[in-house]
Amino acid sequence: MNNILQNKRSLAFALSSFALGIWAFVKVNSVSGPAFEPILEVCGDSSIDPSDFPTKTKYHAYEPIVGLGIFKILVCLITQFLLELRETYPEGILTWGGVVVVSLPVGLLALSEAGRAGVKGPLKYPTFIGLLYQLFGISVMFPMVWVPSYILGHGKQSAPITLIRIYTALIVSLPALVLTTIVFSASTDSYLWTVSAGILGGPILALMGIVLWKDKSPEVLPTKENIANNIKAVKKTYSVIMTLSFILWCYLVNVVYQSYDFSLNILWKDVWVDANASVAFMTVDTIVLYLAIIIFVAYRSQGKALKMILITPIVGPGVAEGWAFCSLEVESLEKQLLAISSSDGDMKKKS
């Protein structure tokens, strides 16, 4: 009976998240599709050499090399997309920065879960899912693919992942912050800006996770030392992510104060009602991604999901999510540590 109820609960959460991803797909296409069509047309025109692209079109130059061949059109499109965000101040930095804040802990989570013993399905392949994020938007693919994949195919929650995966996941999560800083501060006429924009929205960031391709958690029972080391590593890496998320969140709050004096009605008008295609796209991305994370956390612990929501306005979504992800992982590891300690105690009594 309990298994039936658990299966129904899992299916309900998975379907809810999938439906949210479908809605996001329809919405982002409706707000950005008409604006992106002419850009895609010229980006896909093979008769236009990339070196002549700015002179033969009205669009910004792009660097095809960072598209690694097959993603050249994507890099061309995302360069124009990021240029519009950069030139639309403050809405552009607020919406892009919002997605960065919300997604920073997600990168750590996704790479960690991919290496857990017993994991199945798309969850095992974060590089593939990362490419889907770049192609269709994280607000579409995270709720449509990642969350249902986790619910239906996650590994053994009591099985700690390798320390190299924990720390590598942190390192892989950092370049997006550096590139975002460049894209929203460097001159848009510079080659540095063009390359950074192409990398930020192209395939390279998603492919960085491939360094963990062969890293897997051992199937053998973990030791107390192994679990204790994992707990320390998890706390350290999430602390770094939460700190960076909080700094960016404070910056964004300051921009809102300086630009809108916290007038949320005017802010909403600029980021949604009267927003251009790129800003509206990122507004959907930010909101839907956060909602999908709530679904994921609520599946694991409704109490933590509620607390995450309550502390978000105070510390920002990145810190709230990082706290939830970290506490869920640490609790699972501590339960396993307690079980091993109890088992050792029983063996000593018998001896």
Residues 8-34: pLDDT tens digits?
899 999 999 999 999 999 999 998 888
Judge whether 347 lies within some domain: no
Rounded to 5 degrees, what angle do the CA atoms 196, 199, 203 make? 175
pLDDT value, residue 226:
86
Half-sphere exposure of 335 (CA within 13 A, CB side): 10
Instruction: Specify the DSSP class assigned to residue 62.
Output: -
pLDDT value, residue 217:
78
- For residue 202, which of 108, 63, 317 has the smallest C-alpha distance? 63
- For residue 177, which of 114, 241, 132 has the smallest C-alpha distance? 241
Judge whether 131 lies within some domain: yes
Question: The whole model's pTM is what?
Answer: 0.93
Residue 207 CB neighbour total at 10 angstroms:
15
- How far is 17 from 148, CA to CA, in rounded Å? 7
Instruction: With cut-offs at 50, 70 and 90, classify the pLDDT of residue 324.
Output: very high
Write out the residue range of the structural domain in which residue 151 sits.
2-342
- Count structural domains, the chain: 1
Judge whether 185 lies within some domain: yes
pLDDT value, residue 33:
85
Res. 78: pLDDT tops 70? yes
- How far is 349 from 2, CA to CA, in rounded Å? 34
- How far is 345 from 260, CA to CA, in rounded Å? 61
Using DSSP, state whether 61 is helix, strand or coil: coil
Judge whether 49 lies within some domain: yes
Judge whether 348 lies within some domain: no
Judge whether 351 lies within some domain: no
- For residue 223, which of 139, 160, 266, 265 has the smallest C-alpha distance? 160
Q: Are 145 and 155 in contact (CB under 8 A)?
A: no
Judge whether 350 lies within some domain: no
pLDDT value, residue 69:
82
Instruction: Specify the DSSP class assigned to residue 269.
Output: I
What's the whole-number mean pLDDT along residues 34-41? 91
pLDDT value, residue 345:
55
Residues 298-320 as b or e (16 or more Cβ within 10 Å = b): bbbeeebbebbbeebeebbbbbb
